[in-house]
Structure 1
Amino acid sequence: MKLQALSALILGALSVESALIAESRLSDVLLQMDTGFSRKEEPIKKISVSYESEPLRKLDQKQRELVDSAWNGISKSYRYNTIKEKLSKYSKHETFRGDSNSVESKFKEQAAFLPGQKLNPSKGKEDKEGEFEVLNNHKFDDYSLRIKKSSPEVLGLDSVNQYTGYLDVNSLGKHFFFWFFESRNDPENDPVILWLNGGPGCSSSTGLLFELGPSGINSTLQPVYNPYSWNSNASVIFLDQPVDVGYSYTEQDAVTNTDDAAVDFYTFLELFFQKFPEYRKNKFHIAGESYAGHYIPRFASEIINRADRSFELTSVLIGNGYTDPKTQDQYIRPMVCGEGGYEQVISDEECKSLERSSKNCERLGGICYNVPTAATCVAADLYCSRLLDPVSKRNINVYDIRRNCTTDLCYDEMEYLSDYLNSDFVKKSVGASESVEFKDCNDRVGLNFFFSGDSRKPFTSYVSELLDNDIPVLIYAGDKDIICNWLGNHAWVLDLEYEHSYDFKRTTLAPWTVDGKEAGQVKNYGGFTFLRIYDAGHMVPFDQPENSLAMVNRWINGDYGLNK
């Protein structure tokens, strides 16, 4: 979630010179413009890319023109006042300084939130003494795990045993928050699931209190019991990552890409299973949605390639994931133009325009895939994010084509959970740092990933690696989502090459039933499954709680065809 709101911020941020030059990550992108800023809503003059360095010099002239066009097509449509309003929320300075001597100095003054910059510390250091048990491991001497057992009756979310705490990266001042709920059924023997939300930059507490956790939060900030919680038959961990998301916080640089995040993720699991060695024998699954389509394949690869790991990975589950951007973005037009099982929601003229734009998006995506630099991948993201413009201008919810979007995140419940988690009572109960302001989604983190080029890169090769190592993979998608829709997810799984891809492609979509009623369509061969879930948007457990629990229970019980 949050991809669309982040796109709007990015489009604005990239129209000013201070937000464009992200030091080494965008060193090939140069800005040519008149000196200083004017108070007259003047756009910047030109953005150009230097193609003198490797690997950018590999691009031919047509490819270079397309990349330059993507940068400049965005910049010319955004004006000074719009940019000032958007950047003032994230910059240390409330006004632009038009008299600076260089682009570099302007960047350092005004864009402290971009990659490579020291964060302006607004979150105090956690007191590690007292109520937390602290664990260390000689293999990870820079890491420690703080953990405390919470009293279930205090918050009333569930009656099961609960634990909260932080993974601390001591030398770097990074602190990752987690919340663990034991199974309602048989925690000694039930599987363990770790849940990740996407963004990038959104808290997994969204999954906890909005989708699949033991309780939701209502408008009076009271917990509402969820009978379809995923901890009905599994113990569930909710991890706020990357750092600076949710209750997690950092005193130095934030993580800017999925590769770096994978190392912290793996270390957390090693220390977690050190604390709870009894769970090492249980089956362990990683699940998530949206940008977790990036996270989960890479994180799972990190696990299986660690020869000295102390636990085993059983499977992964990815819901409405963003895994193959070049392929998936080609299916935004079909989804909004009536070819995805729902009526057309934009005009015929806009559908024709989207068809042309989608071809350019695919070309830019191919350039990013073949020459994966920040200059090429950010250009692709800038251009392709505009495919959603016809939908957004109508206030259609990009996470659910059936709904309108009236707030930043389109769901009132997101505001309820933020208010709840920002209350002093809740912070004290879970041991969160008092000075941390909980944010369901942190745009600064999202921008970091965006400017590193991470968000446009494919992660399908890691899915192939998992399957070829006999790790089952479930790709499920609510069929009313627009932004990471079922058509695009179905397309990339059909294109995926792995040992049994021929056999998988030969299977057909078959009816998927829950309690005797058709609830979707399923395609399966061996340990690889694609599931379309009817009448669900981007957040399947929110829209179809009963059916999502049926899916999970079948999967974690080894029914990879989801038929029993």
Structure 2
Amino acid sequence: MDNALDVLSSTAEDGEIEILISVYHIKMWYSLLIVLVVVLGATSQLLVLDSKKLALLKSKSAIGSKSDSERLLLTPLLEEGKVATSRKLARVRGGPFPADILSYSGYFTVDKQYNSNMFFWFFPAENVTYPNAPVVVWLQGGPGGSSMYGLFTELGPFRISPVNETLEIIPYAWTKNYSVLFIDNPVGTGFSFTDHEEGFARNETQVGDNLYSLLVQFYTMFPELQDRDLYINGESYAGKYIPAIGYTIHKRNPTADIKINLKGSVEQHVGGDYVTFLRRPDVRKALHVGKAYFQEINGHVYEKLLEDMMQSVKPWVEELLDSDYRIVYYSGQMDIIVGYPMSTLYYESLEFKDAQEYRNAPRKPWYVGDELAGYSRTGGNFTEIMVRNAGHMVPSDQPEWALNLINKITNGEEF
């Protein structure tokens, strides 16, 4: 055994389940009786994909190859009860990756009929005794954007040097105090793949089903994490993915053998060409992805979800609120993609049992030390926050304040 991470424990207790979801400037936190949703970001990527770029993105297919034996498919091992073997094989070793940063990567099969497989990269917390740290899930937007963007440019442990393609350690990485799971979602995004056209998601119900399947397998592989707080985070179009998986968990958790615990979201900004880096042979070998072609944004995934783009997830948010889940939204004051005034119109349109209390509530100042970080407004289980001097990417513009915000949420503190 390399460390405490390799010690398997019993399954989780039927305790409190908390979930936090973020994007569209919406983040969602969820517990068996209390869910918190925070929405963080908007669909900016939707606006820039013109027909020429879409055609270019479609030139690289996400259809897989059954003959690629170098891809690490973990589902068969888990079905045979070989949990220790799956963890051993999934360890990321060699290549350019630091030996002192532990991580695991590979594929979970989420649809056997079409051989649809989703890529993940998991980093156990560095500074918190394992497995005590909360778990954070990161989902990128697009649709079709790889979560490797978030890993290398927002909240992962390292970034690509713009000078020589070496890795630089990020001092404020969320992987220091949280165990972070990056997922290439939906199927076909990034390193994820399928063997059939029907394997691509066409709506948020399918997105939620696939993510739920992945999370169940993740907790089968790491059962000692089942009672940890789990935060589902993301940005841009992930503002639909997150309510989708939150709603799926809400419906399935009561009768599920594996209970899911969510709760958090964070971003940071860095530079360097991570796409070229991820296509290097030594990197691909270390990540167990075989011949899979990495795509920063997959236009085919985008195209398959075109009809889904105008379908609202608002009813799911309202049902979670009426089911006594706590929901928190935050927005950047200077976000010109999803402006705060526009966001408040959405907040005030929500119909739930404490809606009028929220609409009548005064704004409260939120301080980080001596600095005024923003304002909050609460009604019942619903809270919305405006972060001062921040744009579309709040944690990138105000990393200290964003960290304080997330810490308050995870610690159950009021703003």
Structure 2 residue runs of 5 or longer lacking an equivalent are 1-40
Q: Max radius of gyration: which structure?
A: 1
| TM score, norm. by length of structure 1 | 0.58
CA contact (8 A) 2:136 2:265 kept: no
CA contact (8 A) 2:243 2:313 kept: yes
Measured after TM superposition, the shift of residue 167 of structure 1 is: 1.0
Question: Percent of aligned pairs with the same residue?
Answer: 29
> Aligned pair 1:432/2:299, yes or no?
no
Secondary structure of 1:418's counterpart equals: helix
CA contact (8 A) 1:173 1:251 kept: yes
1:163 match: 104
More relative contact order, 1 or 2 (CA 8 Å, 6+ apart): 2
Q: Within 2, Cα distance between the matches of 1:260 and 1:250?
A: 14
Secondary structure of 2:216's counterpart equals: helix
Q: 1:527 to 1:3 in 2, by over 3 A?
A: closer
CA contact (8 A) 2:332 2:340 kept: yes
> Aligned pair 1:499/2:353, yes or no?
yes
1:476 match: 330
| Counterpart among 199, 208, 212 of residue 151 in structure 2 | 208
State the Cα deviation string for residues 503-554 of structure 1 (Å, max 9, x = none): 2222222222223211222223454221222233322232222222222222
Runs of 4+ in 1 over 3 A off after TM superposition: 1-10, 85-88, 119-126, 128-138, 145-149, 151-160, 310-320
Q: 1:311 to 1:446 in 2, by over 3 A?
A: same
> Aligned pair 1:447/2:303, yes or no?
yes
CA contact (8 A) 2:334 2:392 kept: yes
Secondary structure of 2:273's counterpart equals: helix
1:339 match: none
Q: Within 2, Cα distance between the matches of 1:412 and 1:237?
A: 19
Letter aligned with residue 495 of structure 1 = S
| TM score, norm. by length of structure 2 | 0.78
CA contact (8 A) 1:181 1:237 kept: yes
Q: Within 2, Cα distance between the matches of 1:86 and 1:186?
A: 45
| Counterpart among 220, 238, 242 of residue 296 in structure 1 | 242
Secondary structure of 1:305's counterpart equals: helix
Measured after TM superposition, the shift of residue 457 of structure 1 is: 1.6
> Aligned pair 1:240/2:207, yes or no?
no
CA contact (8 A) 2:73 2:108 kept: no
Q: Within 2, Cα distance between the matches of 1:124 and 1:482?
A: 44
Letter aligned with residue 436 of structure 1 = A
**How many aligned residue pairs are there?**
363
Letter aligned with residue 279 of structure 1 = L
2:372 match: 518
Counterparts of residues 415-430 of structure 1 (less than 5 Å): 416-430=273-287
1:376 match: none
Letter aligned with residue 448 of structure 1 = K
> Aligned pair 1:183/2:125, yes or no?
yes
Q: Within 2, Cα distance between the matches of 1:311 and 1:243?
A: 23
Q: Which has the higher helix share?
A: 1
| Counterpart among 44, 56, 74 of residue 89 in structure 1 | 56
Q: 1:467 to 1:252 in 2, by over 3 A?
A: same
1:489 match: 343
Which has the larger displacement, 234-243 or 503-512? 503-512
> Aligned pair 1:281/2:224, yes or no?
no
Measured after TM superposition, the shift of residue 132 of structure 1 is: 5.9
Counterparts of residues 159-558 of structure 1 (less than 5 Å): 159-168=100-109, 169-184=111-126, 185-219=128-162, 220-253=164-197, 254-306=200-252, 307-314=254-261, 413=271, 416-433=273-290, 435-450=291-306, 453-558=307-412
Q: Within 2, Cα distance between the matches of 1:412 and 1:233?
A: 19
Measured after TM superposition, the shift of residue 130 of structure 1 is: 7.7
Q: RMSD across aligned C-alpha pairs, in angstroms?
A: 3.1
Q: Within 1, Cα distance between the matches of 2:145 and 2:71?
A: 28
Measured after TM superposition, the shift of residue 470 of structure 1 is: 3.0
Secondary structure of 2:312's counterpart equals: coil
CA contact (8 A) 2:42 2:392 kept: no
CA contact (8 A) 1:212 1:542 kept: no
Q: 1:271 to 1:130 in 2, by over 3 A?
A: closer
State the Cα deviation string for residues 101-143 of structure 1 (Å, max 9, x = none): xxxxxxxxxxxx9xxxxx68476654268896844459xxxxx
Measured after TM superposition, the shift of residue 179 of structure 1 is: 0.8
Q: Within 1, Cα distance between the matches of 2:141 and 2:55?
A: 25
Measured after TM superposition, the shift of residue 294 of structure 1 is: 0.8
Q: 1:146 to 1:526 in 2, by over 3 A?
A: farther
